[in-house]
């Protein structure tokens, strides 16, 4: 018995190691800031997990309420329709808050609510849209730069290749599913109004709410934009190849950039595969680019120190520029490096504007609405033009537009000012927009109509 206290003292005198610390020594042999996971954790960090972690912060969830009109109802319809909760997904294309999604996700939505991976939420505005490909660009106001999705290419995809879908499936935010590429270049008829071609087919589960979200490769790069699931089918989903989606996104972003400042460069956007630069297709006469010495055939490799590998890179750099702002261009001409300083300018107006393009072509007498007055309407639009008079037998009259309506958009462009109207109606490609889709506010409802127009009336004179 006399030895027992000594025995106890010997035991308590030994340095003790808590069980959790012992586990940490076994599984985490180096300090946390520069350490490694234990063997079990390394096994859990599969390529799929790493791909999702890489892309997760640049994927957003989209929700909003919209009014679904009665079957066949357009502007001339009398049914108020019914309200439904829409949901979808988007991917961040630019750190300033520009997000790509499907147009049907945000079409007619009263307020576009965006939720990020960290559960923070904000409201977005619709910037531009393309109804043919069902793609749209929306924007959120941000204080800090957002993480941008890494882009892959879709020209080298292989059937059987593993892929991952991330999205707001049935409203369950940031749902991850995986599968393989089942086939390429699929044609899909989703509805009477929507037809897709050249889609990626996958057996990764794509459900309502996944629309607009990324289809990732095993490296965490976006190789497609999820758009559709075949009704009644199991394990069949579809995505727009990323090269096609980025071509459309480039055009939509270029449209937004062109509304604020002018550079005069037309780029060759035929290929969206990353390369050594973007080729200049043409330069407008007397434009800032022409004055800076930019020439047709030049290869733009950088703007203000930012490398340009695909058209999207160039058009993103043109976003939110203002007249007078100077940009440093790095070019390659005949294989030799060339530098140019370009000063952005005001957007030019037509040399001989028509007295009233809205009246001549649309049959509408329009009146600007003061910004403060428009805000009281509590809509998601930035502004609109009040319809004062509708000309008898005009396209607008025949399709149900009436005095008191507010014109808020034509095709993919907003109509806040009369200059916006002139910009659309005098576009060189105006004939390709015929019939012209117009959007009007009537009370609190957004309605639309397709107006068949005579493109001859809009020709520059």
What is each CA distance from 10 to 2, 7, 14, 16, 22, in whole angstroms?
14, 5, 7, 12, 21
Mention every residue, 6+ apart, whose C-beta is less than 8 A from residue 358.
Answer: 364, 365, 366, 385, 418, 421, 425
- Separation between Cα atoms, residue 149 and residue 219, nearest integer Å: 12
Structure tokens at 46: 């599969």
Active site residue 174: no
- Separation between Cα atoms, residue 66 and residue 61, nearest integer Å: 16
Structure tokens at 232: 């009644």
CB contact at 8 A, 269 and 249 = no
CB contact at 8 A, 138 and 107 = no
Structure tokens at 413: 């462009």
Active site residue 399: no
Structure tokens at 74: 């357009």
CB contact at 8 A, 62 and 168 = yes
Please pick, among 58, 94, 104, 298, the residue that the annotation labels catalytic.
Answer: 104
């060759």: which residue's tokens? 268
Q: What is the CA radius of gyration of the chain?
A: 27
Report the DSSP beta bridge partners of residue 195. Answer: 189
Active site residue 134: yes
CB contact at 8 A, 332 and 307 = no
Please pick, among 94, 134, 313, 405, the residue that the annotation labels catalytic.
Answer: 134
Closest CA to 132 of 17, 33, 232, 248: 248
- Separation between Cα atoms, residue 255 and residue 245, nearest integer Å: 15
Query: What's the N-to-C CA distance of the chain in angstroms?
Result: 116
Structure tokens at 107: 């079409």
Mention every residue, 6+ apart, whose C-beta is less than 8 A from residue 440.
Answer: 75, 387, 401, 405, 406, 407, 408, 446, 447, 448, 449
Please pick, among 154, 182, 211, 256, the residue that the annotation labels catalytic.
Answer: 211
Buried b (16+ CB within 10 A) or exposed e, 234-267: eebbbbbbbbbbbbbbbbbbbbbbebebbbbbeb
What positions carry a catalytic annotation?
104, 134, 211
């Amino acid at each position: 018995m006399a030895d027992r206290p000594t025995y106890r003292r010997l035991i308590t005198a030994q340095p003790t190691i808590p069980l959790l610390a012992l586990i940490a020594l076994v599984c985490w042999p180096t300090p946390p800031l520069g350490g490694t996971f234990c063997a079990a954790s390394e096994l859990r960090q599969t390529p799929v997990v790493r791909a999702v972690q890489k892309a997760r912060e640049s994927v957003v969830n989209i929700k909003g309420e919209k009014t679904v009109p009665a079957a066949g109802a357009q502007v001339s319809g009398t049914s108020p329709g019914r309200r439904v909760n829409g949901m979808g997904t988007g991917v961040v294309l630019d750190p300033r808050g520009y997000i790509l999604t499907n147009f049907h996700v945000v079409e007619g939505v009263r307020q576009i609510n965006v939720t990020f991976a960290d559960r923070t939420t904000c409201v977005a505005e619709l910037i531009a849209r393309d109804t043919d490909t069902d793609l749209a660009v929306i924007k959120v106001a941000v204080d800090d730069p957002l993480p941008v999705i890494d882009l892959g290419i879709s020209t080298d995809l292989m059937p059987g290749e593993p892929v991952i879908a991330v999205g707001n499936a049935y409203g369950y935010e940031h749902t991850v599913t995986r599968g393989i590429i089942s086939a390429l270049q699929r044609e899909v008829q989703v509805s009477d109004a929507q037809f897709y071609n050249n889609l990626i087919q996958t057996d990764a589960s794509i459900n309502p709410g996944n629309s607009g979200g990324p289809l990732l490769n095993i490296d965490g790069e976006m190789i497609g934009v999820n758009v559709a699931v075949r009704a009644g089918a199991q394990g069949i989903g579809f995505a727009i190849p990323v090269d096609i989606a980025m071509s459309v996104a480039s055009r939509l972003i270029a449209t937004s950039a062109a509304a604020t400042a002018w550079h005069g460069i037309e780029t060759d956007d035929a290929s969206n595969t990353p390369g050594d630069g973007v080729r200049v297709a043409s330069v407008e006469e007397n434009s800032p680019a022409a004055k800076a010495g930019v020439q047709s055939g030049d290869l733009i490799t950088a703007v203000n120190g930012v490398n340009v590998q695909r058209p999207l890179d160039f058009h993103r750099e043109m976003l939110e520029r203002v007249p007078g702002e100077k940009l440093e261009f790095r070019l390659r001409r005949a294989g030799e490096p060339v530098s140019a300083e370009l000063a952005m300018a005001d957007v030019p107006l037509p040399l001989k504007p028509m007295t009233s393009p809205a009246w001549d072509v649309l049959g509408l007498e329009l009146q600007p609405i003061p910004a403060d007055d428009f805000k009281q309407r509590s809509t998601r639009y930035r502004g609109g033009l009040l319809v004062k008079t509708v000309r008898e037998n005009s396209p607008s009259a025949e399709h149900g537009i009436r005095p008191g309506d507010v014109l808020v958009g034509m095709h993919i462009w907003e109509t806040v000012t009369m200059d916006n109207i002139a910009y659309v109606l005098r576009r060189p490609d105006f004939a390709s927009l015929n019939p012209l889709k117009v959007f009007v506010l009537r009370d609190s409802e957004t309605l639309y109509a397709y107006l068949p127009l005579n493109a001859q009336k809009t020709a520059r004179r």
